[in-house]
A and B are shown apart, each in its own frame.
Chain A
Amino acid sequence: EDKVVQSPLSLVVHEGDTVTLNCSYEVTNFRSLLWYKQEKKAPTFLFMLTSSGIEKKSGRLSSILDKKELFSILNITATQTGDSAVYLCALDSNYQLIWGAGTKLIIKP
């Protein structure tokens, strides 16, 4: 059965800290892995990863995929209060997204 597991479920850090969010998966037909950020409304797209070892970067956020060990990480450096959100990992398998439960990240000032 395809599944996506995110850890931790919840994380509280102080502004300026660096955080690493994890996403492990099992899937029969891997097309891509996507990261989304969800604040109060619908998810906004962050990254799409298809190949192992290639880091995607956008400002203070970066992500990398390991297709051998079946996981991805999302890094946020120099966190700010605006980074507080639920971060969702999703696997594209057969053109449908399989969602993880999300990591709730809280950044304290």
Chain B
Amino acid sequence: GAVVSQHPSWVICKSGTSVKIECRSLDFQATTMFWYRQFPKQSLMLMATSNEGSKATYEQGVEKDKFLINHASLTLSTLTVTSAHPEDSSFYICSARTGGGNIQYFGAGTRLSVL
């Protein structure tokens, strides 16, 4: 149980285009989903927390207009990197948690390369 699916696993795009990443909880309802970014050899950096049906809460320094998060259902959250640039290239990971639960279950991550 507690499987989180993230898609795509790897995307290469041209500078200026937008990229959408999906995060699905397959066998549980995720009231809260988290989006992280990870640079090589560094730990996870929380970008935003999203609760189903409400606006995401972004961490300081994360541009909400650049990283659009939608959590329209209890099993799906999406992160859209708008007008991506090479500096947005990174490993993006989502996680999901049930209501009141302490454990976050992670998707496999998406490696974004912007040319």
Q: Which residues of A contact B (CB under 8 A)?
A: 31-32, 34, 36, 41-45, 48, 50, 88, 92, 95-97, 99-102
**CB-based closest 7 A-B pairs:** A42-B106, A42-B109, A32-B102, A42-B93, A41-B108, A99-B43, A101-B43
Alpha-carbon gap, A69 to B107, bound state (A): 33
Q: Tell me, rounded to whole Å, the shortest Cβ–Cβ distance linking B80 to chain A.
A: 19
Q: Tell me, rounded to whole Å, the shortest Cβ–Cβ distance linking A92 to chain B.
A: 5
Are A43 and B108 touching (Cβ within 8 A)? no
Q: A45 contacts which chain B residues (CB < 8 A)?
A: 2, 103-106
Alpha-carbon gap, A34 to B34, bound state (A): 16
Alpha-carbon gap, A31 to B97, bound state (A): 14
Are B102 and A42 touching (Cβ within 8 A)? no
Q: A42 contacts which chain B residues (CB < 8 A)?
A: 6, 93, 95, 106-109
Q: A95 contacts which chain B residues (CB < 8 A)?
A: 32, 97
A–B complex contacts, Cβ < 8 Å, 17 sampled: A31-B102, A32-B102, A34-B102, A36-B106, A41-B108, A41-B109, A42-B106, A43-B44, A45-B104, A48-B102, A88-B43, A96-B34, A96-B46, A97-B34, A97-B104, A100-B43, A102-B43
